[in-house]
Amino acid sequence: MSIKLRSVFHSGCFLAIVAFLFMPNCGWTKNVARPEMYQTATDKWAPGLLEIRVFAVGKGDAIFLRLPDGRVVMIDTGYAETAPLLIKNLKALGVEKIHLLILTHHDSDHVGGFPYLIEAFKIDKVAQSYDPRETGKILIEPGTKLIDAGGVTLTVLGPTQAYKDENDLSLVTRLEFGRIAVLFAADAIEESISNLLKIKRDLRADVLKVPHHGRFKGFSPRNFFAAIRPEYAIITSDEKAGEKPEGSVTRILKELGARVLLTDELGDIQFLSDGETIDLIPAGK
């Protein structure tokens, strides 16, 4: 084949390929023309992103937040016996300082690791729930913003009053980042949940940390879950220790369209958000 004919042949092939790529009815062309539609989200935190990790600490809560500006927030600390692994995991994530530590209430599965975290990390600020055993301590006023910077707010929703049951005294908080909302319901149960519904605060959330490990002992949380309508519902549970969620709770969540995520099945649960969408990151990332 002459050089001239080879050039014409190559040109024809090139034009045919271009025409194929831009055929309007070719499904593959969408991948080429708009590759961003097919890109998966990053699995690592970067400035501008919000990271949420719910650590698997048995039937306990230890929730890590890395804010878009890099600050670190912890919600609860798990048990004393799970503290060494929690500290190891936090250090593996590069944590040197905790800017805000929230202790939602004083049960051992939420605050047991607190003395160990104090020794392991510098902690700038601690926000604690009301404890009727401590005189002179008052409720954090609902509506108080524990964080309000960098496009992120973390607002206290409850408790709205003092209750006899310490679980109902749990600090319930709602995080907003752009269009994304996450509700951390700690161990709130019947009275606290009922009052949250009565005062008609905005409870909608893309992600819900299900209260009291999915165990309500006869009280139906259906109306509460319906007000939230989460895409993801996280339950910190430990079936081996006999602490699995009630079947009715998981059934209600699924009926409302939530994907139920259990820490005793999945291990640590991680999300990343850019404020427009929120992505569940597969385990092991």
What would the mean pLDDT of 75-101 be, rounded to a whole number? 97
How far is it, in rounded angstroms, from Cα 135 to Cα 249? 36
* Residue 4, amino acid: K
**For the stretch 135-156, what's the b/e string if a residue is b when 16 or more beta carbons lie within 10 angstroms of its beta carbon?**
eeeebbebeeebbeeeebbbbb
Which pLDDT tens digit goes with each residue over 181-197? 999 999 999 899 999 99
How far is it, in rounded angstroms, from Cα 204 to Cα 57? 27
Which pLDDT tens digit goes with each residue over 221-234? 999 999 999 999 99
**pLDDT at position 45:** 92
Ordered by where they begin, the domains of the chain are 3-37 (no CATH), 50-281 (3.60.15.10)
**pLDDT at position 31:** 31
Mean pLDDT is lowest, of 1-15, 108-122, 200-214, for 1-15
Pairing of strands 232-235, 207-209: parallel
What does the mean pLDDT of the chain come to? 84
3-state SS assignment for residue 189: coil
Pairing of strands 180-184, 207-209: parallel
| Contacts of the segment 91-98: beta carbons below 8 A, 24+ positions apart | 91/120, 93/53, 93/64, 93/66, 95/64, 95/121, 96/121, 96/122, 97/72, 97/121, 97/122, 97/123, 97/124, 98/72, 98/73, 98/74, 98/122, 98/123, 98/124
Evaluate if residue 134 carries a pLDDT over 70. Answer: yes
How far is it, in rounded angstroms, from Cα 9 to Cα 121? 68
Chain position carrying tokens 């161990």: 187
What contacts 63, CB < 8 A, 6 or more positions away? Answer: 52, 53, 54, 55, 74, 75, 76, 184, 209
How far is it, in rounded angstroms, from Cα 251 to Cα 258? 10
**pLDDT at position 160:** 84
**pTM of structure:** 0.83
Alpha-carbon distances of 105 from 112, 155, 169, 186, 273, rounded to whole Å:
11, 16, 7, 8, 27
**DSSP letter, residue 238:** B
3-state SS assignment for residue 30: helix
Tokens of residue 189, six digits: 């149960």
How far is it, in rounded angstroms, from Cα 187 to Cα 157? 13
Is residue 212 very low, low, confident or very high in pLDDT (cuts 50, 70, 90)? very high
Burial (CB < 10 A; 0-12, 13-18, 19+), residue 62, is buried
3-state SS assignment for residue 177: strand
Do the beta carbons of residue 204 and residue 181 sit within 8 Å?
A: yes
**pLDDT at position 42:** 62
Which pLDDT tens digit goes with each residue over 2-48? 433 344 444 444 444 334 333 333 333 223 333 332 233 467 899 99
Give the whole-number percent of the chain exceeding pLDDT 90. Answer: 65
